[in-house]
Amino acid sequence: MTDKKKRIMLIDNEEGLCRMMQAVLEDSGYDVKAYVRSFEAVEDFKPGDWDMVVSDIKMPGMDGLEVLQRIKQKEPGIPVIMITAYATVEMSIQALRKGAYDMLTKPFEPEELLYRVKNALKHTQLLEENRELREELVGKFRFNNIIGASAALKEVLDKVEKIAIRDTSVLITGESGTGKELIAQAIHYNSLRKDKKFVAINCGALPETLLESELFGSKKGAFTGASADRQGLLEAADGGTLFLDEVGNLPMNVQKTLLRFLQEQEFNRIGDTKTIKVDVRIISATNADLKGSVKDGSFREDLYYRLNVMNLHLPPLRERTADIPLLAAHFITLQNKKFGTQIKGVDAEGLEAVLNYPWPGNIRQLKNVIEASMALESGDYISMQCLSQFIEIHLPHEGGEALVLDESDYSRALSRFEMDYLKGLLRKNKGNIESAAREAGMNMATIYRKIKKYNIRKEDCS
């Protein structure tokens, strides 16, 4: 697969120089369109269509500085190189303040033009890669990337969107394997705390003494083995979010200390008299019946109400069967990429079996079964025979064509989600692209590309 040519807009009213620069750049593999009229160039400029602009400063009508300003208003991140025969310090400062990447003084050699263009594109590419990496890390937990199309999941995500901005405690309930931590991450990364840490701990995986010191820290000498002062997870999460998974397993003494923190936003390390104040949002999760635990006295009632200011219940996978084909396709795609395999999907009988199975282990179990089946499957599709080694199947054998559940199905489904998400985002921001981009954490060029891709009309969303 070859890299797409970089598109460069060239603006200079001197036709001879314009043709020369175009020829030099095209000979070096760039896709160049030259303009001798600045008004026409600015009118043709659409965000996302160009990788760079090279413009003269001294031009009739609209000069280069105005061209620079208008282009930067449309797409702030695009690199612009300004060309001038009168490179005064004042003019250079003015151009740079307006967002120019570089200045090129006439006369110049073709090699110098190529060098400046290459540098600007390389610098912009690095910035874009860094931005995409940040978006990828955060985007992993944005709820528009949570797989599913069922009404039950959409209802959950609607609540997540509302809950995220409310800086209060959240209790997520649901069976094991329903994705409670992923939802907690979605809440955090869509909240005002998204630039701070998300810290998670499984309250059922540690013994009582270790759990307390993990959460609140300890002072040197507080107990055998405490050879130095130790920061706890509450301090580590200062400014961010602490996720307490399996919160129903908290021992009573830890419940008491946690309750004090939720009331006062302060605590003491084990063995220390010094009070520590932190600003942390608590999100907790449980697959247990906490109300029942309150009744039998194993969980404090006052703590329960402190944790359960807002409640979010995740439905089990058997109640959102519409999501199973999408989830299966997603896990197949991930495994194909990881191991270089070419499994195309699940055959018709296998898919029927998957849809009829109750999935007591929910999404986690589905993921494990798909991965295990792919390791053993020798055909193009995961068969019912292969699946039957991992789940109990009670289906009569029936013939029929294979129902292909492949990456294109998944891509089409994601495209539908993305289009619906963009339309909703634009409606919410009354068609304002800048506001929509800011809310989604995307740049304006990306929004414009998506609008063009899905043929979304802004006026329909205003």
* Whether residue 295 is found in the same domain as residue 152: yes
* Whether residue 364 is found in the same domain as residue 446: no
Confidence of residue 319 (pLDDT cuts 50, 70, 90): very high
Longest dimension (CA), the chain: 88
* Whether residue 350 is found in the same domain as residue 386: yes
pLDDT, position 201? 93
CATH no. for residue 424?
1.10.10
SS3 262: helix
Question: Is residue 377 in a domain?
Answer: yes
Question: Is residue 220 in a domain?
Answer: yes
Compute CA distances 259 → 135, 172, 181, 207, whole Å: 35, 18, 22, 19
Cα-trace Rg, the chain? 29
Q: Averaged over 250-262, what is the pLDDT?
A: 93
pLDDT, position 402? 40
* Whether residue 71 is found in the same domain as residue 174: no
Q: Which residues neighbour 392 within 8 Å (Cβ) at sequence distance 6 or greater?
A: 357
Last residue of one domain, picked from the residues 106, 123, 138: 138
- Give the closest residue to 300 by CA, choosing from 259, 340, 270: 259
Question: Is residue 130 in a domain?
Answer: yes
* Whether residue 129 is found in the same domain as residue 277: no
Are 264 and 258 in contact, with CB atoms under 8 Å apart? no
Which residues constitute the domain of residue 353? 318-405
- What pTM value is reported for the model? 0.57
Number of structural domains the chain divides into: 4
Ramachandran bin of 181, using left for φ above 0, alpha for ψ from -120 to 50, beta for the remaining angles: alpha
* Whether residue 288 is found in the same domain as residue 334: no
* Whether residue 267 is found in the same domain as residue 323: no
pLDDT, position 68? 93
What count of other Cβ atoms lies within 10 Å of the Cβ of residue 369? 22
Question: Is residue 232 in a domain?
Answer: yes
Phi then psi for residue 286, to 5 deg, are -155, 145
* Whether residue 300 is found in the same domain as residue 352: no
pLDDT, position 353? 87
Confidence of residue 184 (pLDDT cuts 50, 70, 90): very high
Angle between helices 324-339 and 407-428 (to 10 degrees): 120
Are 110 and 132 in contact, with CB atoms under 8 Å apart? no
Express each pLDDT in 433-460 by its tens digit. Answer: 777 777 766 666 667 777 777 788 756 6
Last residue of one domain, picked from the residues 385, 405, 425: 405
CATH no. for residue 105?
3.40.50.2300
Q: Averaged over 201-221, what is the pLDDT?
A: 85
Confidence of residue 1 (pLDDT cuts 50, 70, 90): very low
User: In this prediction, what percent of the chain has a pLDDT beyond 90?
Assistant: 46
pLDDT, position 142? 52
CATH no. for residue 182?
3.40.50.300
* Whether residue 289 is found in the same domain as residue 185: yes
Q: How far apart are CA 210 and CA 214, in angstroms?
A: 6
* Whether residue 217 is found in the same domain as residue 188: yes
Question: Is residue 99 in a domain?
Answer: yes
* Whether residue 19 is found in the same domain as residue 94: yes
Are 32 and 25 in contact, with CB atoms under 8 Å apart? yes
Last residue of one domain, picked from the residues 299, 315, 331: 315
Which of 331-340, 424-433, 450-459: highest mean pLDDT?
Answer: 331-340
Question: Is residue 1 in a domain?
Answer: no
Q: How far apart are CA 22 and CA 19, in angstroms?
A: 5
SS3 102: strand
Output DSSP code: residue 61: S
Question: Is residue 417 in a domain?
Answer: yes
Q: How far apart are CA 272 and CA 456, in angstroms?
A: 60
Q: Residue 108: how many CA atoms within 13 Å on its side-chain side?
A: 23
CATH no. for residue 322?
1.10.8.60
* Whether residue 426 is found in the same domain as residue 291: no
Confidence of residue 183 (pLDDT cuts 50, 70, 90): very high
Question: Is residue 2 in a domain?
Answer: no
